[in-house]
Amino acid sequence: MNIQADTLERAVRAIFRAAGSQPRECELAARHLVEANLRGHDSHGVGMLPGYMAAIRAGDLRLNAILKVDRDDGHLLVCDGGQGVGQVMAHDAMRLGIERATANGTTIVALRDSYHIGRIGHWAEQCAEAGLVSIHFVNVPAHAAVAPFLGGQARLGTNPFAAGFPRSGGVPIIVDFATSRWAVGKVRVAWKKGEQAPPGYLLDAKGEPTTDPATIFSTPAGALLPFGEHKGYGLALACELLAGALLGGFTQTGAPSKRITNSMLSVILSPDALGGRAAFESRLESLAGWVTSEKLTGRRVLLPGDPERERRATNLRDGIHIDESTWDEICAAAKSVGVDDRTLVDQP
């Protein structure tokens, strides 16, 4: 089915509210999840809800947690997410970082041990909306899903990287990607739709190439491959060290877990404090124009973030497509917290 974004947001808010979330937490979580769907990243959208509800029941996800600041040195903030709702923990950590970078020119924000913080580009967008450049390194320590280069078994998480660059009078440039060929959520989406993964993305439990997405969710499980062979593997390892080990957060241990923990190291920079905003904006626009002027192939060259914005416009117009299997799981999650699935999309 196709569901309009505002209707889907109301449904998500209703489920979180019934689970026990306070209004602000309902709003931030719903907005983030639906925004992921709008931008075409269903892997980080409302399909996460059933897993979130299960995590609440298991005690792995703490509702209504308050972000804790463990250290504040002005230019450095060390925050603890305490396994709280990641869409709130990351939002509040970035809000603090934006305030400091705006006042001081730069800041480093460490967010340790939050529950799943969702689409990382969202946090780069939050900084860009404030006119700030940002860089984000993230680890996923509780669930190994990616084999190292030349390996055959999962040893690392999908460990994403993101960077955001504001544009005066224009949409920001947002670089956002997992260090694996796919995020685990994209494998889940393909599995639910009954689709195959592209060749070269997955290994089965014996370390052999496969296109069957079910292998990631089997016992024993297979593994994703890093993008770019040794390059993606190296960046994934760097994310694990920067976002996990350096912050004193959880890192990979090999212990199996369904919990989705994230830590994130963010560097937030004001163009005013470096080469100057006018120079930055001029050079950014010049570079963007040069990069997208290439016409040899006859295809339109896009900037990072452009495909998501185009998909967003389409989904706002036509509604967000939710496959039958995912919708059934969302309805079951709603029932588990006492929300009548028959009126789910009619919630006030």
User: 231 φ, ψ to 5°?
Assistant: -70, -50
Tell me: do 71 and 59 sit in the same domain. Answer: no
Residue at 58 is within a domain:
yes
Tell me: do 111 and 30 sit in the same domain. Answer: no
CB of 164 closer than 8 Å to CB of 187: no
Residue at 324 is within a domain:
yes
Residue at 263 is within a domain:
yes
CA-to-CA dists, residue 178 to 4, 58, 140, 237, 323, angstroms? 28, 27, 11, 12, 23
At position 65, the amino acid (one-letter code) is A
> Residue 302 half-sphere exposure, CB side, CA atoms within 13 Å?
10
d(CA 195, CA 251): 32
* Listed residues 215, 249, 271: the one ending a domain: 271
Residue at 84 is within a domain:
yes
The predicted pLDDT at position 35 comes to 97
Number of structural domains, the chain? 2
Tell me: do 250 and 339 sit in the same domain. Answer: no
Residue at 301 is within a domain:
no
d(CA 54, CA 8): 20
pTM for the model: 0.94
d(CA 239, CA 155): 13
The predicted pLDDT at position 259 comes to 86
**pLDDT tens across the length of the chain (348 residues):** 899 999 999 999 999 999 999 999 999 999 999 999 999 999 899 999 999 999 999 999 999 999 999 999 999 999 999 999 999 999 999 999 999 999 999 999 999 999 999 999 999 999 999 999 999 999 999 779 999 999 999 999 999 999 999 998 879 999 999 999 998 888 988 998 899 999 999 999 999 999 999 999 998 999 999 999 999 999 999 999 999 999 999 998 877 777 899 999 999 999 999 999 999 999 999 999 999 998 899 899 999 999 999 999 999 999 999 999 999 999 999 999 999 988 787 654
Tell me: do 242 and 317 sit in the same domain. Answer: no
Tell me: do 311 and 348 sit in the same domain. Answer: yes
Tell me: do 84 and 158 sit in the same domain. Answer: yes
Tell me: do 234 and 265 sit in the same domain. Answer: yes
d(CA 20, CA 56): 10
Report the CATH number that the domain containing residue 321 is assigned in CATH. 1.10.1530.10
Tell me: do 58 and 90 sit in the same domain. Answer: no
Residue at 190 is within a domain:
no
Ranges of beta strands (E only) in the chain are: 2-3, 68-72, 76-80, 106-115, 133-139, 161-165, 173-177, 202-203, 209-210, 223-224, 261-269, 320-321
Token pair 């899903």 in the structure block, residue = 145
Tell me: do 159 and 12 sit in the same domain. Answer: no
Report the CATH number that the domain containing residue 128 is assigned in CATH. 3.30.1370.60
The predicted pLDDT at position 348 comes to 47
d(CA 309, CA 17): 29
Angle formed by the axes of helices 49-58 and 5-19, to 10°? Answer: 10
Contacts of 283 (CB under 8 A, 6+ apart): none
DSSP-assigned letters across all residues of 24-35: HHHHHHHHHHHH
At position 183, the amino acid (one-letter code) is A
Residue at 291 is within a domain:
no
The predicted pLDDT at position 176 comes to 96
Characterize 154-170 residue by residue with b for buried, 16 or more Cβ atoms within 10 angstroms of its Cβ, and e for exposed. bbbbbbbbbbbbbbeee
Domain extent for 151: 66-180+226-271
The predicted pLDDT at position 341 comes to 81
Tell me: do 58 and 73 sit in the same domain. Answer: no
* Listed residues 271, 298, 329: the one ending a domain: 271
Tell me: do 77 and 55 sit in the same domain. Answer: no
Residue at 285 is within a domain:
no
Tell me: do 151 and 15 sit in the same domain. Answer: no
CA angle 335, 339, 342 (to 5 degrees): 85
